[in-house]
Amino acid sequence: MRALTAAAAGLAAALALIFTITAIGAPSGTTSPKPLLTTVPKHP
């Protein structure tokens, strides 16, 4: 019974961690102020 409880706790922690990370996700940022280029840039 104790082993089952420990395994369930481990599984719950893993699920909680993954759901939290994916829910937070990456910030979307803002649109770049740089224009669409109509001149040839000298370097990247």
Site for other proteins in 1-44 (CB under 8 A): 2-3, 6-7, 9-11, 13-15, 17-18, 21-22, 25-26, 28-32, 34-41, 43-44
What is the Cα–Cα distance from 2 to 8, expressed in whole angstroms?
A: 10
| Minimum distance of other proteins from residue 5's CB (angstroms) | 8
Q: Give how far Cα 27 sits from Cα of 23, 24, 30, 39, Å.
A: 11, 8, 9, 31
**DSSP state, 33?**
S
Residue numbers at the binding site for other proteins (CB under 8 A): 2-3, 6-7, 9-11, 13-15, 17-18, 21-22, 25-26, 28-32, 34-41, 43-44
